[in-house]
Amino acid sequence: MTQSKMLLITGSFLIFVSFITALIVYYNLFTRPRRRKECITAHTNGKVVGRTSIMYNNLFLPLVEYQIYDQTYTIRGPKFAGCYSSVVNTINTVPGPNGSNIPLEGELPMITNSSGNSCPAQKDLNERYPIGREVDVYYDPDDPKEAFVERDVVYPKFVRNLLFIPTAMSLVIGIFLVIAAIAF
């Protein structure tokens, strides 16, 4: 196989992967949140029944059961857009009792922050959501399994836009390789 054909195949593959990746990123970070905001309009109460066995952003999230139309659903949450740990405590909100920015009551942060590691955030999350506590669950009346606990997680705009950079870079490299293959 000639170098020109290799460049053409590699470039075409990069363009294809970039296009698919851009569609997936756009759907998950822009279209899906907008659709969820429009469709998840109903409210019920759920009960914390346990913790997840897999960590999400360095936290074991509460498992919440809720019932709609005599059907029981389980959801994990609330979810967070990220987790930040620092040696110096730089928390801007009223901190939880163990040194994270997860308060025992009130509005939840989108990104958790704790001093040292994620242990303070986990302890504060466990204290906020003890097993048996009732919590707010919002769901889609047409599809009750589409739901979230207390509030939906929304990624900051700079994070959403930042995810397009690798996609754009691979697209540019793919186009460059195709042009180089044609020029040979």
Domain ranges of the chain: 1-40+154-184, 41-151
Q: What is the rounded average pLDDT of the residues 16-45?
A: 87
In angstroms, rounded to a whole number, what is the distance separating the alpha carbons of residues 33 and 31? Answer: 6
Predicted TM-score (pTM) of the model is: 0.70
Question: Greater confidence, 158 or 136?
Answer: 136
Structure tokens at 116: 């040292």
pLDDT of residue 68: 93
What is the C-alpha to C-alpha distance for residues 94 and 84, in angstroms, rounded to an integer? 16
Query: What's the confidence (pLDDT) of residue 43?
Result: 94
Rounded CA-CA distance 101/72 in Å is 32
The pLDDT > 70 percentage for the chain reads 90
Q: Which of 1-5, 21-25, 51-55, 87-91 has the lowest mean pLDDT?
A: 87-91
Residue-averaged pLDDT of the chain: 84
Banded pLDDT at 136 (limits 50, 70, 90): very high
Q: Angle at CA 178, nearest 5°, toward 175 and 181?
A: 150
